[in-house]
Amino acid sequence: MSATRSRPPAKKSVSAPVQLGRRTADAAREPLFSVGDQVYTMPATVPTGDAIMLAARLRLQPDEDAKGVALVLNLCGGDALAALMGDSTMTRAEWKTIVRILTERAFGPAERRKEDEEGN
């Protein structure tokens, strides 16, 4: 009598409707502001996944300043936030400029965001 070997079932090739790649670890960054001689940077581009995560986090913030803090912390890091809040001579207009730049970097220009919200 001969022994028969059983083969494991063949793996099925699964094709998802959306196939994504993995991010590279080192994303490009560019300067946003400086305090003294220290330059603080922001991402050159914000990946869509990060923008979606930020949108969800910003919805929980009670006002524009808190949203700005969340943007700086998530896109520039804790050192950048500490420098702005404690070590700088920042004016309200400079704060608004930083928040506007980060908002546009994460979500696009205000005009485009308005069109997206309206479903156009």
Burial of 108 from C-beta contacts in 10 A (0-12 / 13-18 / 19+): middle
Per residue in 99-119, pLDDT (tens digit) is 999 999 999 988 765 566 666
Per domain, the residue ranges of the chain are: 29-118
Name the pTM for this structure: 0.76
pLDDT reported for residue 96: 97
pLDDT reported for residue 13: 64
Q: Which two tokens stand for residue 16?
A: 């998802």
pLDDT reported for residue 51: 95
Confidence grade of residue 46 (pLDDT, cut at 50, 70, 90): very high
Average pLDDT across the chain, whole number: 87
Point out which residues pair with 41 in neighbouring strands.
31
b/e burial code for range 22-35 (CB count within 10 A of at least 16 → b): eeeeeeeeeebbeb
Per residue in 59-103, pLDDT (tens digit) is 999 999 999 999 999 999 999 999 999 988 999 999 999 999 999
pLDDT reported for residue 87: 82
